[in-house]
Chain A
């Protein structure tokens, strides 16, 4: 059971206090979008061995959604940050690069 730190309220808590929301930084493709874009938005998900950006909600705490960069192989939580961003902020990227020099970067 993972330990995560909510970037809003600062609480570090058990996974059961959060709910997972799948891949982060998806671009919504609504009416007028191509089948290809809509399919990518709805169904195509990354499944990397390594750094993954994902959505979490502090469901049984402050209720806020936040994002996490997590290594799917080692389970290391590289960073958590607020959800109000369409891509990982520079300081999160820097933090990951520091720990994973071989990481190919975002996206």
Chain B
């Protein structure tokens, strides 16, 4: 059983015990432990269940590559699933639970899946759930949903109480990875005077050199690490960061760094995670290498561990993975584990080496310690279920039909060689080359990712570069190349014993028969086996990307850090081609999962996005505004009075605008000043109708289309003087329309003399609406607002109640209406003055819903309701607003297309339900029969629908096939729960058809 040793552990502080729970059981670790180390120290080898088969799983690795030891961390609002125990630092009060089992970790009834492996082979998603079709909704989908994912999603009412932030940073050289290669690269780069940042994902500098017994200048690596870090800390041009992962390398030297600030110390008042948005002149990755598992039957039984990980636990945390460990390898490096275990007084019954000979320095040392080394052998299968009980050995070149020897043991250390961590090099297009000596992919220095200037901006050094010894020289050389500096001090020398080459072993034994191959796990987290990849190849999958998706190899949260190379080696073998011909799947950021909190940063709640406030915002808030988001604006939907429902408030506002006088805050309306000698000519191109003929003092309604002829925006243009026009746009369209104008002026008609300014926020605009509107304005005193002096569709500048105003006689309600514009700073004062002066006239404000109803009663269209980006003005009966005289305007050519002049197009009509009810939003009118896909034919849809307080019934507008020619016809609309609603086609103008009320 795994346990803590009485002595040693370079990273732990025995004087600081930390109490935590796992599945409710109280356990104790030491400060400096990872959760994985603490669990092993407490004898907890079983930590989770696998995804498909619910097989018992234990800790395999000691770092970010861990596929099995995923736990749910924390409780309540702080609960987080799928956290790796190997990268979680243990702290007092930590709460962890295992995942993906029912009812418990020890007794998982879903492991019955393990007995049905045929059911869940490669591509089972595609094969299993096809028939019968009716089963999909009620049987298959619920099953799939229940078994999807490993951890439980947090409670939907949980709210993350922690703080997250983002920071922008810049440097000349960014070094990712704080092992000895990274430290040397930082030192060399810093000595050049460059601004240097060095990031290390763990809590410690130096990487695995101290564990592996690296000597630097004849002394233990730890000495050099200590002096180098101290030297770097003293340099002003160096910025060191621990617990900081290089998550992704993006275009032109943009790098995301994920810093876990308080995960290990939750009581501190700092943000939990910080996302660094670094712009680096050059990036040096020193991200090391990850050990590969070996594919033998039962390689997923708890107790089977990567050899180097076992060494990590032993040296760093004084944790023994077992009392008796069999080491299985195809290389010399794993002998370090055997030697370290033996020196710690643990049993090592045998080292199983797949190679015919093992005579390097390390195997010799192992033999000298009395260890038994068996060459030319492999594991036939692992004995044990919830933990390793023994191992059967056979000849490596056999089919594994029988074993030659059996060893009792409670743990197995395996090593299939090392794969450089090339992810960051590859994220932005760096290419790889297959190293025929080391049997791994490493960065091809001739094909780096390139920056804005076309030069490579990433250099790789150390184990990430496939360099396993003389690492410091490689790191130094990387800096010399990257910075082009030959004058930097030479680095120290690191030494390791010479190693003999490994021999690639992708399946153990090499000719293993099917029952063995069906128990050889490639991808632990997604339960993909050697036999699955071989099946995919037999079924015709050749591309590694397709095989990945078909088998789900490498698609789990570990992104195949352990499984990818083994998987594509098996695929290559099955396809009978060399590994480089198969290639790798695409490496995508982030390197390991990062929290959504870090991605969101501070952008949550009130600062999720900027809020635009009209100059009258505070008045609305103080007077019962029921807010509605309109783009980034907030507008009052209605103003509720005590005891009123939303509907009652809206109906009251509609009636008052028709009967007395009401105010609307129209400040959000876009206001763009277009001026210059060619302003009229420009607006003639922008609008479908003629604007250049408009006289100063006059207003005209116009439509704007895109080049497809589809309606884009509408509004009233007022001519200010000979050379300038004030263009009103929709509230949501102002920025877009302004950008649209600038695009045409800068990129197409750049010789036209026109200047545009977006004045939307410079003015408050108040619509004074209703039969008593004129009476109210007259009370304020000032300019003449009579019908003669200021007729409908005119505007005047002047004074009202002492305010400098522009008064526009325009109406979106069909009532007598003035829109009064004042400088934004005066808006609130004018509004208050109007409210006071109109008190006895029954004045009240109305919101956007009343605005909508008032315009719908009049059949006025609303951009975004009647239009959806596929509607041309002719569809809305707006032919009168399309100039026939103009030879050109934006969208004219688009409207001439065959589909746009088709008489069968859906066109605007009014809709009246026979029973007076309100039609549902977006309801479809049912036609006759079915279309080619067997779906019901539709012949129209509702675009606007309201209860009209004025008319006392539901009113609606909609687009109906040949609608205007079908006045009086009945249509059937489909409502919820298969309801059928009888509706009559009517004129869209339902109130004051002659327009008399607005023109008084």
A76 pairs with B750, CB closer than 8 A: no
Q: How far is the CA of A41 from the CA of B748 in the complex (A)?
A: 13
Does B454 touch A at the CB level, under 8 Å? yes
Q: How far is the CA of A77 from the CA of B251 in the complex (A)?
A: 11
Interchain CB contact (< 8 A) of B747 among A41, A65, A78: A65
Does B357 touch A at the CB level, under 8 Å? no
Does B994 touch A at the CB level, under 8 Å? no
Which of B363-371, B605-613, B886-894 participates in binding chain A?
B886-894
Does A63 touch B at the CB level, under 8 Å? yes
Q: How far is the CA of A74 from the CA of B250 in the complex (A)?
A: 13
Given A2-B252, A29-B893, are A55 and B747 also a contact pair (CB < 8 Å)? yes
B747 pairs with A83, CB closer than 8 A: yes
A31 pairs with B887, CB closer than 8 A: yes
Interchain CB contact (< 8 A) of B452 among A21, A42, A75: A75
B746 pairs with A64, CB closer than 8 A: yes
Does A47 touch B at the CB level, under 8 Å? no
Report A16 CB to chain B, min CB distance, Å. 10
Q: How far is the CA of A64 from the CA of B739 in the complex (A)?
A: 10
**Closest chain A residue, CB of each to CB of B738:** A63
Q: How far is the CA of A14 from the CA of B277 in the complex (A)?
A: 11
How many residues of chain B are within 8 Å of chain A by beta carbon? 29
Does B254 touch A at the CB level, under 8 Å? yes
Q: How far is the CA of A78 from the CA of B739 in the complex (A)?
A: 26
Q: How far is the CA of A78 from the CA of B451 in the complex (A)?
A: 11
Interchain CB contact (< 8 A) of A74 among B253, B454, B739, B892: B454
Does B707 touch A at the CB level, under 8 Å? yes
A83 pairs with B893, CB closer than 8 A: no
B454 pairs with A99, CB closer than 8 A: yes
Report A103 CB to chain B, min CB distance, Å. 13
Q: How far is the CA of A35 from the CA of B892 in the complex (A)?
A: 13
A84 to chain B: which residues have CB within 8 Å? 746-747, 750
A65 pairs with B743, CB closer than 8 A: yes
A38 pairs with B747, CB closer than 8 A: no
B427-460 Cβ-contact flags toward A at 8 Å (1 or 0): 0110000000000000000000011111000000
Does A1 touch B at the CB level, under 8 Å? yes
Given A30-B892, A31-B888, are A83 and B453 also a contact pair (CB < 8 Å)? no
Q: How far is the CA of A35 from the CA of B894 in the complex (A)?
A: 10
B894 to chain A: which residues have CB within 8 Å? 38, 42
Q: How far is the CA of A48 from the CA of B154 in the complex (A)?
A: 45
A28-52 Cβ-contact flags toward B at 8 Å (1 or 0): 1111110100100110000000000
Does A94 touch B at the CB level, under 8 Å? no
A3 to chain B: which residues have CB within 8 Å? 251-253, 279, 451-452
B254 to chain A: which residues have CB within 8 Å? 1, 14
Given A1-B254, A30-B888, A31-B887, are A38 and B893 also a contact pair (CB < 8 Å)? yes
Report A17 CB to chain B, min CB distance, Å. 12
**Closest chain B residue, CB of each to CB of A71:** B454
**Closest chain B residue, CB of each to CB of A78:** B454
**Closest chain B residue, CB of each to CB of A99:** B454
Does B917 touch A at the CB level, under 8 Å? no
Q: How far is the CA of A4 from the CA of B452 in the complex (A)?
A: 8
A35 to chain B: which residues have CB within 8 Å? 897
CB contacts under 8 Å to A, within B874-899, are: 887-888, 892-894, 896-897
Q: How far is the CA of A14 from the CA of B742 in the complex (A)?
A: 22
A32 to chain B: which residues have CB within 8 Å? 893
Does B708 touch A at the CB level, under 8 Å? yes
B742 pairs with A63, CB closer than 8 A: yes
**Closest chain A residue, CB of each to CB of B886:** A31
**Closest chain B residue, CB of each to CB of A15:** B251
Q: How far is the CA of A77 from the CA of B887 in the complex (A)?
A: 40
B429 to chain A: which residues have CB within 8 Å? 74-75
Report B725 CB to chain A, min CB distance, Å. 20
Q: How far is the CA of A15 from the CA of B251 in the complex (A)?
A: 10
Report A97 CB to chain B, min CB distance, Å. 14
CB contacts under 8 Å to A, within B24-50, are: none
Report B743 CB to chain A, min CB distance, Å. 6
A29 to chain B: which residues have CB within 8 Å? 893
A21 to chain B: which residues have CB within 8 Å? 743
B892 to chain A: which residues have CB within 8 Å? 30-31
A75 pairs with B743, CB closer than 8 A: no
**Closest chain B residue, CB of each to CB of A67:** B747
Report B451 CB to chain A, min CB distance, Å. 7
Report A83 CB to chain B, min CB distance, Å. 5
B748 to chain A: which residues have CB within 8 Å? 28
B230-272 Cβ-contact flags toward A at 8 Å (1 or 0): 0000000000000000000011111000000000000000000
Report B760 CB to chain A, min CB distance, Å. 15
**Closest chain B residue, CB of each to CB of A41:** B707
B252 pairs with A42, CB closer than 8 A: no
- 3 tightest Cβ-Cβ pairs between the two chains A and B: A76-B454, A84-B750, A74-B450
| Cβ contacts A to B, 5 pairs, < 8 Å | A1-B252, A3-B251, A64-B746, A75-B252, A83-B746
Q: Footprint of A on B, CB under 8 Å? A: 250-254, 279, 428-429, 450-454, 707-708, 739, 742-743, 746-748, 750, 887-888, 892-894, 896-897
| Apart from the given pairs A38-B894, A83-B750, 13 other A-B contacts in the complex at a CB distance below 8 Å | A1-B254, A2-B252, A4-B452, A14-B279, A30-B888, A31-B892, A38-B897, A63-B742, A65-B747, A74-B450, A77-B452, A77-B453, A84-B750
